[in-house]
Amino acid sequence: MTPRINAGMTLAAVGMMLVMASVYRLPEWEQAVITQFGRPVGSAVTAAGLHLKVPFVQRVRRIDKRILNWDGYPNQIPTKDKKYIEVDTTARWRIVDPLLFIQTVQTEDGARRRLDGILDAITRDTISNHNLVEAVRNTNAILDQIKTRAEKLKKGEISPGDDEEITGEIEPVHVGREALSAIIIKRAAVELKQFGIELIDVQLRRIAYESSVEAKVYDRMTSERQRIAQRIRSVGQGERAKIQGKTNRDLLKIQSEAYRKAQSIKGAADAEAIAIYARAVSGDPQFYEFIRTLEAYKKAIPADTRMILSTDNKFLDLLRQK
C-alpha cells in the first residue's frame, strides 16, 4: 500500500507539471503567438482565458493588444512659409497582426524605433509642405467671426472702441489641423501595416515657435498691442472731440435761438411802441417835435457845460435889443 501512495504522488506531480506546461492563461489585454522551437505555429490567439499548447515544445509569446502610446521627440521643422516651429506629436497604435509583428519588429521597442522613423519623417514632410496656419487652425471660423464683427461695427451694434482685434491679414486655411493629422495618419498607416501595426491616430500635441523665433513673435505681438492701444486712445480722443463739437453746436444753437427769440420779442415791442408813439404824435407832430426837442436839450446837455453862444437866438432876443 505504501509504495502505491508514493507512486501516486509522483504521478500526480508529473501530471501537474504536464498540465502546467500545456496550459496557459491569457488575460484580456494580451494576445499570444505560439512558437515551436522559435517558429510560429498556427494563427495568433486573441481570446482571453485558458488555452492549450504542446508542453515543453511550444512557447507562448505574449503581445499587448491594447492601445499603445507613441511619444515623438519634439522636432524643429520649417513650414512652407519659412516659419520655424517646434512640433511635438503623439500617436496611438495597436498590434493587430501579432504574427507579422513578431516576424518583422519582434518587440515593442523595435516597433517604437520604426514608429520614430516613419512618423518623424512623415510629420516633417507634411508640416513643411504647408503654411503655419494650417497646423494651427482647424477651420476658417475665425474669418467668419471677423466678418460678422465688421458688419456689426458697420451697423453700429458695437462701438469702435470695443473692437480692438482686427489686426493684419488673417490667412485663410485650406487644409486645417485635423486634416494634417489625417494626412500623416493615412501615409504612416500604410507603412506601418507591414509590421502588423494599426495606427489609430496621430495628434499634434504641441506646436510652438522655436525659441529664436519666439522673441520676434513677442516683438510683433507687442507692436500689435501698441497699435491697438494707440487706436483705442485715438478713438477715445475722437469721441471726445465729437462730444466737444456737439457741446459747441448745442451751445451755439441754444444761445442763438435765445437771441433770435429775444430780438423778435424786442422787435415786436419796438414796433408796438413805434405804433403807439406814432398814433399819439399824429395828433400834432409840430407840438411833439417842440416838446421832445426841449426835453432832449435837457437830457442831452449836461450840467457844468461850457457854452459859447451867439446872441442871435430867440431866447436871447431881449438881450440883444439894448
Partner 1 sequence: MRQIRHRRVGDKKATICIMAERWDDEEQPSSWSDEFRQRFEGRWPIPRQTVLGILGGLLAFAGVVSSAYTVEPEQEAVILRFGRYVSTEPPGLHFKLPFGIDSAIKVRTKVILQEEFGFRTKGTEGTRSAYDENFRQESMTLTGDLNVADVEWILQYQISDPQKYLFQARNVLTNIRDISQSIMRRVVGDRLVSDVLTVGRVEITEEAQRLTQEVLDRYNMGIRIVTIKLQDVNPPEPVKPAFNDVNRAKQEQEQAINQAEEQYNKIIPESEGKAEQTIQDAEGYATSLINRARGDAGRFTAMLQTYRSAPGATRTRLYLEAMEELYGRFKELTLIDPSIKGVLPIFGAPALKESPAPGGHP
Asked if residues 55 and 76 have their Cβ atoms less than 8 Å apart, the reply is no
Q: Does 212 bind partner 1 (CB under 8 A)?
A: no
Minimum gap (Å) between residue 147 Cβ and partner 1: 13
The residue written with cell numbers 496550459 in the block is 23
Distance CA 60, CA 21 (A): 11
For partner 1, give the closer residue by CB, 177 or 187. 177
- Residues numbered 165-184 forming contacts with partner 1, rule: CB under 8 A: 165, 167-168, 170, 177-178
**Binding status of residue 38 toward partner 1 by CB under 8 A:** no
Question: Which position among 9, 57, 141, 158 is part of the footprint of partner 1 (CB under 8 A)?
Answer: 141
Helix (H, G, I), strand (E, B) or coil at 269: helix
Q: Is 303 among the residues that bind partner 1 (CB under 8 A)?
A: yes
Kindly state the smallest distance separating residue 194's Cβ from partner 1, in Å: 23
Among 196, 67, 207, smallest CA distance to 130 is for 207
100-119 residues near partner 1, rule: CB under 8 A: none
When the beta carbons of 21 and 142 are compared against partner 1, the nearer one is 142
Question: Among 132, 148, 157, 179, which residue interacts with partner 1 (rule: CB under 8 A)?
Answer: 132
Tell me the CA distances in angstroms from 156 to 149, 152, 165, 229, 232, one per residue in order: 10, 6, 16, 21, 16
- In the complex, the smallest distance separating the C-beta of residue 312 from partner 1, rounded to whole angstroms, is 4
- CA atoms of 136 and 98, how far apart (whole Å): 36
Q: Can residue 187 be called a binding residue for partner 1 (CB under 8 A)?
A: no
Tell me: does residue 246 bind partner 1 (CB under 8 A): yes
For the beta carbon of residue 301, count every other beta carbon within 10 angstroms.
9
- Of the candidates 110, 113, 109, 99, the one whose C-alpha atom is nearest the C-alpha of residue 31 is 99
**Is 69 near partner 1 (CB under 8 A)?**
yes
Q: Is position 158 an interface residue for partner 1 (rule: CB under 8 A)? A: no
